[in-house]
A and B are shown apart, each in its own frame.
Chain A
Amino acid sequence: MEQKVIMAGFGGQGIMAIGRLLAYAGMLEDKNVTWMPSYGPEMRGGTANCAVVVSEEEVGSPLISKDGTAAIVMNLPSMIKFEQELIPDGKLIVNKSLIDIEPTRNDLDVYYIPANELALELGNSKVANMIMLGAYLEVTKAVDIESVLKAFVKVFGENKSDLLPLNKEALIKGAEAAKK
């Protein structure tokens, strides 16, 4: 099954980072992966997003256009923009902490995750992105959490390995929050 996920939020929420983690983890599992950042003229404080494809087969288009199997949206503008890019029954992981309305489409499989509150419970608001990634992995099983943890050191460097336990907790907490 090909996973085509859009990750979106505002700059600083760690969107690109969780995208790279997912892509790296997929590669460690010998899957074909692409990571495509949005690039273009963007306002300061505007949205940041990336598209990640994880597939058993050769990846065709690295872009996601109306064929996303999932989206992680961490702020309201992202939800408004990217719920439109999903297939019917696509998984929409919504950061409930910052998004207080429901998507306009009613044919999506929606998960509301209070990512910022859960991150604060762990004592660090910065891991809200990892909470969201954990929820996404629970829902899609795109890659193993263990692969993400292996990828963590590769992506962020050995000197960040002291942050590994916190990030593991965040992934697990996100996964639990997504269990319906």
Chain B
Amino acid sequence: MSKILMKGNEAVGAAAIKAGCKYFFGYPITPSSEIPEYISRKLPEAGGVFLQAESEIAAINMVYGAGGAGARVMTASSSPGISLKQEGITYCAGAEIPCVIVNMMRGGPGLGSIQPSQADYYQSTRGGGNGDYRTLCYAPSSIQELVDYIMLAFDKADYYRNPVLIAADGMIGQIMEAVEFKEPEPIELPPKDWATTGTGGKRKPVIVNSLYLQAEELQEHNKNLEKKYKVMEENEVRYEAFGLEDAEVVCVAYGTTSRIVKTAIKQAQAKGIKVGMIRPITLWPYPYDIYKQIGPNAKGILGVEMSLGQLTDDIKIGIAGRLPVYFNGTQGGMVPTPGSILAEIEKIAGGTK
């Protein structure tokens, strides 16, 4: 199939529709407003329903309802809007409702700015809602990956009966790139016999709920969720990595930032510095094991992100104290430059602080 030039936010909508999403509930916010705009036009043409809710909270609860009835459903927003959805997300996790939630991250905390950011890493990976729960979380770095992982997200959500997050920085939503809509690899999905589709007088009613008043029952539910999360940790880790064996410096970054880091790495290599890279594609489950492949020449790990250093915590878990971890970041909607990253790489390679 041929490539087309598409803006990230519109590609989100197109990918969701291609993946069989039939319901979208949302409330517009910069820098993700083109998602509901696109979907409001295109989803009804595909036989689906677009509904602009009165608020983000209403939207995520509509997602709960549609997902609980077994439909493929998505919502999208940007950081403050995603914060509002946290209650609904933990309810979806507790009730095991498959759904896809897209976050085009902008600066925070609070209302913050409308410029790109990656400061919702903790929220995306540690859970912004209450309780012991996990959400599979993809962090695309190009429009092609955005499309591929949105389509995959719907399958994974159904497969695991779990919410799946797409954590992208605002720039991914705004840029245009060439994209190809490939046919996703078919995977075998379990029947949705748990969904509240009506008994038809032929079976017992099913209940989709996150309330377990008996402590023993809730603990059993928690243990079952844990089993599911362990399988996800086993099977769903995705990353890109290169040059780790002989690297003097290893850079770790995701999303748009990883592209800027790649530019800086090329510049460093031109100066004779050996630089490796780890790019987590799933923020949860995180690719901790890949850190074992870092060779003995490494002097330090450099985390680069558009936040005060949240991914950096996972780098420290991954490297387990074996090497010093440095941080180079921008905040508030500022975007790192290859030059500043290169300077940091040179410092670490030179062994000076």
Interface residues of A (CB under 8 A from B): 20, 23-24, 27, 32-37, 39-41, 58-63, 65-67, 154-155
Contacts and interface: CB of A to CB of B under 8 A. Distances in A.
B147 interface: no
A35 B5 CA distance: 9
Contact of A40 (B115, B178, B259, B339): B115
Interface residues of B, number: 23
B3 interface: yes
Contacts of A35: 5, 175-177
Interface of B: 3, 5, 30-31, 114-115, 170-171, 174-178, 256, 259-260, 262-263, 266, 335, 337-339
A61 B338 contact: yes
Given A32-B178, A59-B177, A66-B337, 19 more contacts: A20-B5, A24-B5, A27-B3, A33-B5, A33-B176, A33-B178, A34-B175, A35-B175, A35-B177, A41-B114, A58-B262, A59-B259, A60-B338, A61-B256, A61-B335, A61-B338, A62-B171, A62-B256, A67-B338
A65 B340 CA distance: 12
B174 to A, nearest CB: 6
A60 B260 contact: yes
Nearest to B31: A39
A37 B170 CA distance: 12
A63 B335 contact: yes
Interface centre among A59, A61, A63, A155 (most CB of B within 10 A): A61
B337 A34 contact: no
Given A60-B260, A66-B339, A23 B176 contact: yes
A161 to B, nearest CB: 18
17 contacts: A20-B5, A27-B3, A33-B5, A34-B175, A34-B177, A39-B30, A39-B115, A61-B259, A61-B263, A61-B337, A62-B171, A62-B256, A62-B259, A63-B260, A65-B337, A66-B337, A155-B5
A27 B171 contact: no
A13 B268 CA distance: 40
A27 B178 CA distance: 7
Contacts of B260: 60-61, 63
A66 B335 CA distance: 13
Contact of A60 (B31, B114, B177, B262): B262
A27 B5 contact: yes
Contacts of B3: 27
B176 A40 contact: no
A134 to B, nearest CB: 21
A99 to B, nearest CB: 28
B260 to A, nearest CB: 4
B5 A37 contact: no
B342 to A, nearest CB: 12
B105 to A, nearest CB: 14
Rank and list the top 8 A-B pairs by shortest CB-CB distance, nearest first: A60-B263, A35-B176, A61-B260, A27-B178, A36-B175, A24-B5, A60-B259, A62-B175
A40 B177 contact: no
Contacts of B178: 27, 32-33
Contact of B114 (A33, A40, A155): A40
A61 B177 CA distance: 12
A61 B335 CA distance: 10
A175 B262 CA distance: 35
A62 B335 CA distance: 11
Nearest to B176: A35
B5 A36 contact: no
Given A27-B3, A40-B115, A63-B335, A33 B174 contact: no
A6 to B, nearest CB: 14
A88 B174 CA distance: 29
A27 B335 CA distance: 26
A172 B31 CA distance: 37
Contacts of A58: 262
Nearest to A61: B260
Given A39-B31, A41-B114, A33 B339 contact: no
